[in-house]
Structure 1
């Protein structure tokens, strides 16, 4: 049952009397100190001319159709990942130049991939495949990794569109680890700065129809050695010689 306004007012009067008599904690709002003044962004070099050409993009910026691979019932689980990589890699070098020795050796090793989807026979460089709906269309997409002779990992993601196999992401780097977080693919890669690593988040872009690196940062590596803490010099007053003589 709700109390009337008269009962509430009476309770407040009693509480005020108790506070006036020194009973209880006065409470109330307390200052947390001065609030720093908000500063808007400062635009540097506002008169810079527009660039004549875009910078080199990191990773794929457009989808690529993969020919020669059928997707039964539009289900990528029914497609051999090795067949997908073989068809795509031979037609689309991606970040590699076709004349690179690492690319040529990878293509040669792809011929050793077995058709049992295990990648355990011969020199097959295709790692275990993973599946996740990255595009948000309700269907699993295919994520594959290809080990290359230059100790890099070539990562490619494929989607199915109207029965057509489409590559929606491709990148190659000295990868430390790969994580899936929701519909994002997070790549951890080696940095040239000792003790640090790159974290790049790839996300589906519905306008571009491809995965794009939406966030790229350099962070302290969890396995980086901690800086050594210098040992404090012993105090003269606590030296063994003086202590013994006291």
Structure 2
């Protein structure tokens, strides 16, 4: 320690003692009690061979070019969100077409959607399954990307998608379906909160843009107390059917 720093430390200590003597115990330093002993992680079953493949398919780095949807002037705001949903419906007829299709009412509800999003008024607008689109730069290229949601009907699932423009094409870089409590955008991330079967708890999943993979990767998966008291250690991994695929 240099002499100047030593002199400053001594003067600060003297001032603290003087202030404590003048004010009694008010504001004085107090012990916080014994500190727990740090315990290092214990590796279990070191003889197990490393896993060579994931247990469940969570669609890591899942991207797809949306066929039949153009991007005028590479401006994603010029793309009709309802056209994107209609393209997805057309690409998966088994999910949407027919009386026994799991999301048949989503396809039927598209007739009530106004052009360029959820516009329109009255009862027809409320029946449109497409939710309000949001535009924010999630990929870091300085241009807005599209976060789009639509309801999967009948039922209480919501599909959440993120799209960007890549080489004049509309590219889906994130896809998820779940019972959704809330969706948030933070920095380069999309955060989805979903209810848990345990009262007072919720799931929090976060996708973050990865420039190397050119996709949004699932970077956080945790269970939280819904009162905001923090994560719950040891939350089991989500069911492989959680994405609805």
Give the match for residue 105 of structure 1: 105
- CA distance 1:60–1:52, shift in 2 (3 Å): closer
Per the TM alignment, residue 24 of structure 1 is displaced from its structure 2 partner at its CA by 7.3
Match of 2:236 in 1: none
Mapped partners of 2:227, 2:59: distance in 1: 26
Contact conserved, 2:82 with 2:116, CA < 8 A, in 1? no
Secondary structure of the residue that 1:82 maps to in structure 2?
helix
Cα drift, residue 60 of structure 1: 5.3
1:172 paired to 2:181: no
Q: Find 1:142's aligned residue among 141, 146, 149.
A: 146
**Residues 37-92 of structure 1 deviation map (CA, whole Å, 9 limit, x = unaligned):** 43322111111133354222335532101011111121111111111121133215
User: Contact (CA 8 Å) 2:96, 2:107: kept in 1 or not?
Assistant: no
Give the match for residue 159 of structure 1.
164
Q: How far, CA to CA, are the matches of 2:214 and 2:161 in structure 1?
A: 15
Measured in 2, the distance between the counterparts of 1:49 and 1:200 equals 29
What CA distance in whole angstroms lies between the structure 2 residues aligned with 1:202 and 1:118?
25
1:230 alignment counterpart: none
Alignment of 1:1-246 (within 5 A): 35-51=35-51, 53-59=53-59, 61-91=61-91, 101-120=101-120, 121=124, 123-149=127-153, 150-222=155-227
TM-score (norm 2): 0.71
User: How far 1:202 moved relative to its partner?
Assistant: 1.3
Secondary structure of the 2:181 match is: strand
* Distance apart, 1:34 and its partner CA: 5.5
Tell me the CA shift for residue 222 of structure 1. 3.0
* TM-score between the two structures when normalised by the length of structure 1: 0.71
Q: Distance in 1 between matches of 2:33 and 2:185?
A: 42
Q: Quick one: distance in 1 between partners of 2:217 and 2:224?
A: 20
Unaligned runs of 5+ residues in structure 2 are 24-28, 229-245
Return 5+ residue gaps in structure 1 as ranges: 224-246
SS in 2 for 1:43: coil
CA RMSD of aligned residues (A): 3.6
User: CA separation in 2, counterparts of 1:108 and 1:98?
Assistant: 9
